[in-house]
């Protein structure tokens, strides 16, 4: 009921009468009053005017279940929602929930992580109440060998979603980092459980630096947050909604042909290194070339000094 009251409050310009709420939910005045008080304790500023009712004046930047649900307008992504104040890693939790039967599109969100995981065994800084740490569970009918492209699909979705809330444009650093003013604001970690020809589940973990004020040590050089770049904070639940909406759109396009053919041009338009010199660091060697964008499989096409084109499918790229 708390979530439904919050949704109604957010969608009403004037006042919601207490009596109407009682009638609508078939509960007592006291039950409505208790739900309103819980919302106030969570940080919502709700004005109560005799003979008029309740009006929402201010919303806190929280990632509670009722806050996310009250702003979520997606069809399926995130509609099954698991929220935590703190957790080791939303990816680890998502894998467990997927095995226990969570559905395609279920989303795990935590306000902070005690053991946030990055790519290549690195850790991911996950401080309290400033970032988005979330993992989307997918159970697609897809060949396991095509699954890595879903990470790029998510990168397009996150870049598009962030662009709705950032003053400057966001770009993608291949394969799936999102950068703003050349510094990283988002990382994506995809993990899969599969058999040779069948995907049990894929979890796509997304960490977005939203409202952090500073970064420590070596991260200072490489990372930034939307708040630092904008000069003002943004509501994290709204950004989650935008990511879910954009992902639904991009996922549906991708699943038509299981390639990035229809999306590669848009991806390449957001590629930070397009037509620029990059250093490719493969496990065995390093080389320099010009990034020419991804192909329909999501590989980065790099033109070497001798004019030869290389398709990079793994490894790290500078810039």
Count Cα atoms within 13 angstroms, Cβ side, for 278.
Answer: 26
Bridge partners (DSSP) listed for residue 312:
300
Binding piece for ligand BTN, criterion CB under 6 A, among 71-79, 137-145, 184-192, 220-228: 184-192
Single out the residue of 243, 255, 270, 239 nearest to residue 154, CA to CA: 243
143 is in an annotated binding site: no
90 is in an annotated binding site: yes
Establish if 78 lies at the interface with ligand BTN (CB under 6 A): no
Establish if 119 lies at the interface with ligand BTN (CB under 6 A): yes
Of positions 89, 112, 224, 273, contacts ligand BTN by CB under 6 A: 89
Q: Least distance to ligand BTN from the beta carbon of 115, Å? A: 7
Helix (H, G, I), strand (E, B) or coil at 183: strand
Q: Least distance to ligand BTN from the beta carbon of 222, Å? A: 11
Establish if 268 lies at the interface with ligand BTN (CB under 6 A): no
Contact flags string 163-182 toward ligand BTN, x per CB under 6 A: --------------x-----
Give the chain's end-to-end CA distance (angstroms, integer). 48
92 φψ region: left (φ > 0), alpha (ψ -120 to 50), beta (else): alpha
In angstroms, the CA 134 to CA 58 distance is 25
112 is in an annotated binding site: no
**Which residues make Cβ contacts (< 8 Å) with residue 95, sequence separation at least 6?**
191, 193, 201, 203
Place of tokens 């703190």: 86
* Total residues at interface with ligand BTN (CB under 6 A): 20
Of positions 53, 78, 105, 187, contacts ligand BTN by CB under 6 A: 187
89 is in an annotated binding site: yes
**Which residues make Cβ contacts (< 8 Å) with residue 131, sequence separation at least 6?**
112, 207, 208, 209, 210, 211, 212, 225, 236
Binding piece for ligand BTN, criterion CB under 6 A, among 42-50, 140-148, 183-191, 293-301: 183-191
For 100-111, what is the HEC assignment? Answer: CCCCCCCEEEEE
Q: Least distance to ligand BTN from the beta carbon of 180, Å? A: 14
Contact flags string 122-141 toward ligand BTN, x per CB under 6 A: x-x--------xxx------
Establish if 91 lies at the interface with ligand BTN (CB under 6 A): yes
Place of tokens 């929220």: 83
163 is in an annotated binding site: no
The binding site for ligand BTN (CB under 6 A) comprises 89-91, 113, 116-119, 122, 124, 133-135, 177, 187-189, 205-207
| Known binding-site residue numbers for biotin | 89-91, 113, 184
| Known binding-site residue numbers | 89-91, 113, 184
């Amino acid at each position: 009921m708390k979530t439904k009251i919050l949704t109604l409050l957010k969608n009403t310009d004037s006042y919601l009468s207490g009596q109407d709420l009682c009638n609508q939910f078939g509960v007592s005045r006291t039950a409505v009053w208790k739900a309103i008080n819980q919302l106030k304790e969570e940080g919502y500023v709700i004005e109560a005017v005799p003979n008029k009712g309740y009006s929402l004046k201010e919303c806190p930047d929280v990632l509670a279940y009722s806050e996310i649900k009250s702003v979520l307008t997606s069809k399926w992504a995130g509609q099954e929602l698991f929220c935590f104040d703190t957790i080791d890693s939303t990816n680890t939790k998502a894998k467990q929930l997927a095995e226990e039967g969570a559905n395609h599109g279920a989303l795990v969100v935590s306000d902070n992580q005690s053991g946030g995981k990055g790519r290549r065994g690195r850790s991911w800084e996950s401080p309290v109440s400033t970032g988005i740490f979330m993992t989307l569970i997918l159970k697609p009918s897809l060949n396991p060998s095509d699954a890595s492209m879903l990470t790029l699909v998510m990168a397009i979705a996150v870049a598009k979603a962030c662009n709705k809330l950032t003053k400057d444009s966001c770009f993608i650093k291949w394969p799936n980092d999102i950068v703003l003013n050349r510094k990283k604001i988002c990382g994506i970690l995809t993990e899969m459980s599969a058999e040779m020809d069948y995907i049990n589940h894929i979890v796509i973990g997304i960490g977005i630096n939203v409202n952090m004020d500073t970064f420590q040590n070596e991260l200072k050089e490489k990372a930034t947050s939307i708040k630092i770049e904008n000069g003002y904070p943004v509501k994290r639940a709204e950004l989650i909604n935008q990511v879910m909406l954009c992902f639904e759109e991009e996922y549906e396009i991708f699943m038509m042909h299981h390639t990035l053919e229809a999306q590669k041009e848009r991806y390449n338009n957001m590629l930070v290194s397009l037509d620029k010199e990059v250093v490719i660091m493969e496990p065995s060697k390093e080389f320099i070339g010009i990034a020419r964008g991804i192909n329909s499989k999501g590989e980065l096409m790099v033109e070497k000094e001798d004019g030869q084109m290389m398709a990079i499918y793994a490894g790290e790229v500078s810039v």
